[in-house]
Amino acid sequence: MTSSKAPIYDERLTAPNTWWGIAALFGLAVALVFLPYGGIAAFLGLMAGAGLAGLFVSKQGSVRIRVTRDLLVVDDARVPLAALGEAQVLTGEDARAWRTYKADLRAFMVMRSYITTAVRIENLDPEDPTPYLYLSTRAPERLAKAIGTRD
């Protein structure tokens, strides 16, 4: 018997590696701004610039999506699987449409610009005004299958 806490699906929406390179270049640019004030100022600028940019990149890649036997956990949100309907896999134009002109302002959306695929999940809870959940994911088929797995 598996624990209800054991994840069926687990994904971290990490930022692409190129973003880390851009963070390092940002630090270098800040260092160049402070270079006329001396080597120590340039070094401190490098550390501060790269550190702040690195924090931003890290925060963008900190969202986790987990599915257990009875719960969908997205960052701090916890939704019982019993309250969710069908999970629709979105790719290409469908994913773009649901995050732009088809989007409902009441929807729960976790979007990452660097991930082009997503899952749209109906919310069946009559007490909750949220019509659906839109989740960016690199493995939409696996996530949809995990959400559809219920006891």
Mean pLDDT across 104-117 = 90
Whether 97 and 118 share a structural domain: yes
Q: What is the pTM of this model?
A: 0.79
Residue 3 lies in a domain: no
Whether 51 and 81 share a structural domain: no
Q: Name the residue range of residue 34's domain.
A: 14-60
Is pLDDT at 70 greater than 90 in this prediction?
Answer: no
Q: What is the dihedral of CA 84, 124, 61, 22, to 10 degrees?
A: 130
Whether 85 and 140 share a structural domain: yes
Q: So what's the pLDDT on residue 4?
A: 60
Whether 95 and 27 share a structural domain: no
What whole-number distance in Å separates Cα of residue 69 and Cα of residue 66? 10
Whether 141 and 84 share a structural domain: yes
Whether 87 and 139 share a structural domain: yes
pLDDT in tens, 122-145: 998 888 899 999 999 999 999 999
Could you please report the per-residue DSSP string of 53-70?
HHHHHHHHT--EEEE-SS
Return the structure tokens found at 106.
Answer: 């009441």
Q: Are 143 and 74 in contact (CB under 8 A)?
A: no
Sequence-distant (≥ 6) Cβ neighbours of residue 74 within 8 angstroms: 63, 64, 65, 66, 108, 110, 133, 135
Whether 81 and 32 share a structural domain: no
Whether 70 and 142 share a structural domain: yes
Q: So what's the pLDDT on residue 75?
A: 85
Work out how many domains the chain is built from and give that number.
2
Whether 73 and 140 share a structural domain: yes
Residue 51 lies in a domain: yes
For residue 89, CA distances in Å to 92, 94, 121 come to 10, 9, 9
What whole-number distance in Å separates Cα of residue 7 and Cα of residue 146? 9
Whether 80 and 137 share a structural domain: yes
